Amino acid sequence: MSSDVRLVICGDEGVGKSSLITSFVKETFVPNIQHVVPPVTIPQELLTATGQNMSMTLVDSSPNILERQTLNDEIRRANVILLVYSDHYTFERISLFWLPHFRTLGVNVPIVLCANKCDFDDADSSELLGDEIIPVMEEFKEIEACIRASAKNHYNVNQVFYLCQRAVGYPIAPLFDSKELNLKPPAVAALQRIFFLCDRDQDGFLNDKEMNDLQMKCFNRKFDADELGELKSFIDKIDPGSGTSQGVSQQGFILLNKLFTENGRHETTWGILRTFHYTDSLSLSDKFLCPRFDVPQYSSVELSPAGYRFFVDLFVLFDKDNDGGLSDQELEALFAPTPGLPEPWAKSLFPRTTICNEAGYITLQGWLAQWSMTTFQDHKTTLAYLAWLGFEGSERGGTTDALKVTKPRRRRNTRPKVGKVDRNVFSCYVLGAPVAGKSALLDRFLSRQFYPLYMPTIKPRIAVNSVEMQGGKQCYLILEELGELEPAVLENTSKLDECDVICYAYDSSNPDSFQYIVDLRTKYPQLDRLPVVFTALKADLDKQQQRCDVQPDLYTRELGLSAPLHVSSAWTSSLSELFVQLAEAAQSPSTATPILEPEEKESPLVPMVLASSALAVMVAAVAWMFRTSNRDSV
């Protein structure tokens, strides 16, 4: 909605358009005014009737055929049109010329009809034309309201311009279908979502507390003691069961707003919609869904404690059977006020990406891990879903209160300085030869059973879970197997910047497996600026000598790294140790980044030369001072 409402006043010659403007501005009738008054802007502080933060520019017009192009240009720029008539002839022209002319111009703005010169001292002008106006309003749905006024007696003049302002601030067209006499589907969908968010206990009714919370949130007041009871009785009388002792049902809530719009109180419905960030098109505002949230380069985004608490509460609320998992029906109910599952979740075959119970339903642990990964990879998706799901942060922060930005981390060409990264979510690429056991590693990371049948990974596969570090601190680790996209990802600098640690995995029972890692590091030297962990998979099988110039233990030793950790899907403790080691490498990159080149040591001769030079300078200075003093004494 524009902050400056442009109101164009149209009508035939002599209907009193200019008189209405001057009577409104001067607050009294002004005789003998000019034919067309210049545009005048009313500041927003003088337009407080509708509570909208807007100013209003009043544009007078002439119906003269010679000025028709100017009139058409102004009509196209209008946010609302005030169409004035004053007698039977000018009234007939409303439907015969003016309204069809607006449609010809392709104008789609609200129109307010004004019967001017209702001075009650002229028999012709005092005819109310009530019966005649109804068919016109039924034929032309763009007409928002009709009002009688008198510029001469200053009768209803302020109300005329209030209706014009209200037509822009609270348009009825998006809400109500006057032909069907019902709310339009987008309005119903918006009110259903608002009901869902206000129904805190999800029992299908807004109880007295929830109704008062809604009233306070939208209108900054609570219902009187008897007012709420009368409201529920009124709704239940019209639609039995919609207003009971339990509260107001969803159907009753929508019925109530339908009555508001039918009876000209649609500003009440708009008050509710605007509080929940709906625009005039009944979509959520872009600023609400995608607020500004700056993330410095090399920083990442994580959920804040408030964000984790919100998602925990959401999980508990919708786990209706208390089985510790969200079934398909429970997930569908939870995502009801949103467009559905986040698109990245669907692409990654959720819930296979995280922890599920025996029935295949996502657990609380998996739920939090999934949102941690989503926030890390695409925080804008998380912000949008926080908005759709009803997260309420501070007035200043809004949905961004659920997120936090980590300190920037920089990549170096040498081993980084000692220190820990203050983060809780880490990304790990799992690299290795085909059939090395990478997919089985991801399965075991999610506590899934090992399947001996080999299936090559073509599309990238991802798994996220929590890892308990030494000391009890918990972090989230995202393991990603790249599949056929491996070359494209490893050549992409931005993709590597998103990675915190690399897991080089080889099959210890296959003598040709380790050479793949050696070749990979040679082909992509940029990998060496990342922390790495080497692991020998399938350690429960017979260990084979690798057909490689350097055996894995010596290879890692030359890089200044720990020897490969021997892991088997059958050894749970070894798996846990590997995941902790990966998380620790990401958290303390100085302990796991390869030494690319030896640190240059300072030669012991350098300090000796510097000291000798300094001593020589001092001796020369003393000698010069001694000779100078002797010369002065002579």
Task: Enter the CATH code of domain 4-169.
Answer: 3.40.50.300
Q: What distance in Å separates the CA atoms of residue 160 and residue 147, rounded to the nearest whole number?
A: 7
Q: CA-CA distances (angstroms) from residue 449 to 441, 446, 507?
A: 10, 9, 19
Phi, psi at 546, each rounded to 5°? -80, 135
Fold observed for domain 425-591: Rossmann fold (3.40.50)
Give the pLDDT of residue 74: 94
pLDDT at 134: 81
Pairwise CA distance, residues 575 & 455, whole Å:
21
197 closest CA partner among 389, 394, 392, 393:
389
Q: Model confidence over 133-162: pLDDT tens digits? A: 888 888 888 888 899 999 999 899 999 998
Asked if residues 377 and 265 have their Cβ atoms less than 8 Å apart, the reply is no
* HEC per residue, 554-600: HHHHHCCCCCCEECCCCCHHHHHHHHHHHHHHHHCHHHCCCCCCCCC
d(CA 291, CA 285): 10
Q: What is the pLDDT of residue 445?
A: 95
The SS3 assignment for 322 reads coil
- Written in H, E and C, the secondary structure of 253-311 is HHHHHHHHHHCCCHHHHHHHHHHCCECCCCCECHHHHCCCCCCCCCCCEEECHHHHHHH
Tokens representing 230 are: 């009368």
**What is the model's pTM?**
0.83
Other Cβ atoms closer than 10 A to 456: 9
Task: Provide the token pair at 215.
Answer: 């009233």
Domain covering 297-338+354-405: architecture: Orthogonal Bundle (1.10)
Which residues in the chain come in under a pLDDT of 50?
1-2, 49-50, 121-128, 598-607, 609-611, 622, 624, 626, 628-634
Assess whether the region 4-169 and the region 425-591 belong to the same CATH fold: yes
- Whether the CB-CB separation of 139 and 100 falls below 8 Å is answered with no
Q: Classify 182-283 by CATH class.
A: mainly alpha
The H or E element that residue 367 is part of is: helix 364-377
According to DSSP, the residues that pair with 506 across neighbouring strands are 536
The Cα-based distances of 613 to 608, 619, 620, 624 in angstroms read 9, 10, 11, 17
pLDDT > 90 in the chain, percent: 65
Tell me: cis bond preceding 552? Omega within 30 of 0 counts: no
- What does the domain layout of the chain look like in residue ranges? 4-169, 182-283, 297-338+354-405, 425-591, 604-634
Return d(Cα 561, Cα 595) in angstroms, integer: 8
| DSSP secondary structure, 102-150, as one string | HHHTT----EEEEE----SS-TTTT---HHHHHHHHHH-TTEEEEEE-B
Which residue carries 């490689």 as its tokens? 548
Neighbours of 294 (CB within 10 A): 7
